[in-house]
Amino acid sequence: MHITLHEWSENKIRITEHGVELDAGLGFDEYREGLKALKDINSRSKLILADYVRQGKIKYGDIAVDTAMGQLEFDLPTVKAIVNINSVPASLREHNLEADHYVVLAKAALTPQQREKWAKTAADQNLTASTLKASINAGEVQTPAQAKSKNHGVASPHGLNAEFAIWLRRVGGIAGVMKMGPGYAEDIARELADIIDFGVELREKIAKRVI
């Protein structure tokens, strides 16, 4: 369904800075259509944002868009999600897959062919993002119950290191982080502080034990 804010206004539904206003003459069928549109927008908001950023970078360039996002103070989790979603080719988009599916596909250590296969499998079998993740890890489609039991595991240091290496390559290393705009490098440094402190302390204790 394609609907613009102008069309909403003509249909007696007005978006305001405080929410929405419904015209007194709004019919129930029009109201229901608006409800459906909002549901679709809500479920696809991350995907819409990621695609908006992707197309903006094509039109205006990476630096201009990254600077604008920094000025608008996009939070780090949102930026990470955008990077992951946009790392998956648009050709793999399926009508019933959501942003979280593409984040799973982006983070998984898959070849392009494997990523295409899992995207189609997830769409054909209506897998949730968590079930898709468990299925990729298992190498075969898992049931929701199997996925639930496997996704409750805690990531190991080896797993964390592998995820970090993938993320670091995708953002272009430290140089890429420094180009993300004001505040992003500082946010990432804060996120990594506990891990860095743990590593330093562990190395110190190992060194003392060896001595």
pLDDT along the chain (211 residues), means of 10: 50 78 85 83 86 94 92 88 90 89 90 92 91 87 71 67 80 85 83 90 86 55
Kindly report, residue by residue over 119-137, the tens digit of the pLDDT. 999 999 999 898 999 888 8
DSSP state of 192: H
Kindly report, residue by residue over 153-177, the tens digit of the pLDDT. 566 787 778 778 878 887 888 988 8
CB of 148 within 8 A of CB of 130?
yes
- CA dist., res. 61 & res. 122, Å (int): 32
What is residue 5's predicted lDDT score, i.e. its pLDDT? 47
What is residue 3's predicted lDDT score, i.e. its pLDDT? 47
End-to-end CA distance of the chain: 68
96 Cβ contact list (under 8 Å, min separation 6) = 123, 126
CB of 130 within 8 A of CB of 107?
no
How many C-beta atoms surround the C-beta of residue 84 within 10 A?
22
CB of 84 within 8 A of CB of 107?
yes
Angle, helix 45-60 to helix 99-107, in steps of 10 degrees? 70
Q: How crowded is the C-beta side of 103, counted as CA atoms within 13 Å?
A: 15
Whether pTM exceeds 0.75: no
